[in-house]
Amino acid sequence: MSLKMEYWNQKTFCLVTGASRGIGRTIAIEFSKKVANQSVFLLMARSTSALEETKSAISAATEGRVSVITSTIDLEKPDKDAYLSAIVSALTQTNTTASDFDHSILVHNAGSLGVEKKLKVVEMEDLADLSGYFSLNVISMVILSTQFFKTFNDTAKQRSIVQITSLSGLQPFKTWGLYCTSKAARDMLMKVVALESGIQVLNWAPGPVETEMFDNVCKHTGDPDLLKAFTECREEGKVLTCEQTVTKLVKVLAEKKYVNGEHVDYFDVE
Ligand SMILES: NC(=O)c1ccc[n+]([C@@H]2O[C@H](COP(=O)([O-])OP(=O)(O)OC[C@H]3O[C@@H](n4cnc5c(N)ncnc54)[C@H](OP(=O)(O)O)[C@@H]3O)[C@@H](O)[C@H]2O)c1
C-alpha cells in the first residue's frame, strides 16, 4: 500500500466507535462528506436511538450517497464474534464485500473517563471496576482491530486507523490514573500496529472538547488543581467544539503530515 494514495475521495468502509454523540458523531458526519459515493459507514455505540440520529445526519449531509449501518454494542464486554458479525452484517446489508472498497478506516473513538470515584492509583481495589474499564478502553479496541482487519485483509488496499487519544496518554494527571494509563496503552498498541503492518495509523489528541465527557471532567475530577484548570479553561472559552477538532483532523489526514503511528495533538498543527 502506498502512503501516497489519497486519503479521501476513495470508496471507503469506515467503522466509527462511539458514534452516538460527541466527537465520534462529528467524525462520522464529517468523514462521510469526504469519501466517494457508495461508501459504507458502520456506527457503533450502546444507544440505538442516538446512533439513528447520527445516521440521519449523515444521510442529510451526503444526500444518501453513503450507506449507514448502525450496530448497538456494549464495548465494555469484548466479544470477537459480535464484532465480526457486525462488520459482516454491514457488508451483507449494503450488498457489498470487503474487496469492493479502496480504503477501510477504523476509528477507535469510544472511551470513558473512569475518574468518577476520585481515586488515587493506590486506592484502586475494585477488580470489577478495573476490569470493566480496561475492557472498554483497551481490550475491546484490540479485538475490534483484529476482526476489522481480518475482514479488510487486502494489503494492496489502503487500510487506516484513527485512534482518539489524549494529552493524558503522554502526561500524568492526579486522580486520572485509569484514563492516563488507557490512553498511553492505546497509543503504544497503535504504534506497534503501525510498525507491524501496512496499516496507516494516526493517534489524534483532540484537545479539550465540549462534550458529555468534558462535562464529566468538570463535575468529577478529584484533584482540586486539575479541576480548577479545566473549569477555568471552560470559563475562558478555550474549550473546542467537535467541529473544530474534527475539521483539523480531516486536514491532517488529507495532508498526511504525520509519521505513521505518531501521537498528534490538535495544538501541534496549524
Ligand atoms: N471531550 C474531550 O475533551 C476529550 C479530550 C481528549 C480525548 N477525548 C477522547 O475522545 C473520545 C470521545 O470522547 P467524547 O468527549 O466525545 O465523549 P462522550 O461524549 O462521552 O462520547 C463517548 C462515546 O463513546 C461511547 N461509549 C461509551 N461507553 C461505551 C460502551 N461501553 N460501549 C460502546 N460505546 C460506548 C458513547 O456512546 P453510548 O453511550 O451510546 O454507548 C459515546 O458515543 C474518547 O476516547 C475520549 O477519551 C475527549
Is 237 part of any domain? no
CA distances from residue 189 to 38, 63, 201, 258 in whole angstroms, order as listed: 31, 37, 10, 17
Is 226 part of any domain? no
Q: Which residue has the cell 467503522?
A: 15
pLDDT of residue 85: 98
Q: Determine the distance separating the centroid of ligand 1 and the alpha carbon of 99, expressed in angstroms.
A: 30
What is the domain count for the chain? 1
Is 202 part of any domain? yes
pLDDT of residue 257: 83
Is 191 part of any domain? yes
**Residue 168: domain span:** 12-209+242-264
pLDDT 10s digits, 141-154: 999 999 999 999 99
Is 85 part of any domain? yes
CATH of residue 247's domain is 3.40.50.720
Q: Determine the distance separating the centroid of ligand 1 and the alpha carbon of 74, expressed in angstroms.
A: 12
Ligand 1: atom nearest CA of 50 is: 40
Is 88 part of any domain? yes
Ligand 1: atom nearest CA of 22 is: 16
Is 46 part of any domain? yes
pLDDT of residue 5: 83
Instruction: List the chain residues with pLDDT less than 50.
Output: 1-2
Q: Determine the distance separating the centroid of ligand 1 and the alpha carbon of 24, expressed in angstroms.
A: 7
CA distance 209 to 94: 33
Q: Other C-beta atoms within 10 Å of 259: how many?
A: 12
pLDDT 10s digits, 35-90: 999 999 999 999 999 999 999 999 999 999 999 999 999 999 999 999 999 999 99
Residue nearest to atom 2 of ligand 1 (CA): 209
Is 117 part of any domain? yes
Check: pTM over 0.85? Answer yes or no.
yes
Ligand 1 pocket, 112 CB below 6 A?
yes
Ligand 1 pocket, 109 CB below 6 A?
yes
Ligand 1: atom nearest CA of 46 is: 41
pLDDT of residue 4: 61
CA distance 12 to 97: 12
Ligand 1 pocket, 82 CB below 6 A?
no
pLDDT of residue 217: 97
pLDDT of residue 2: 47
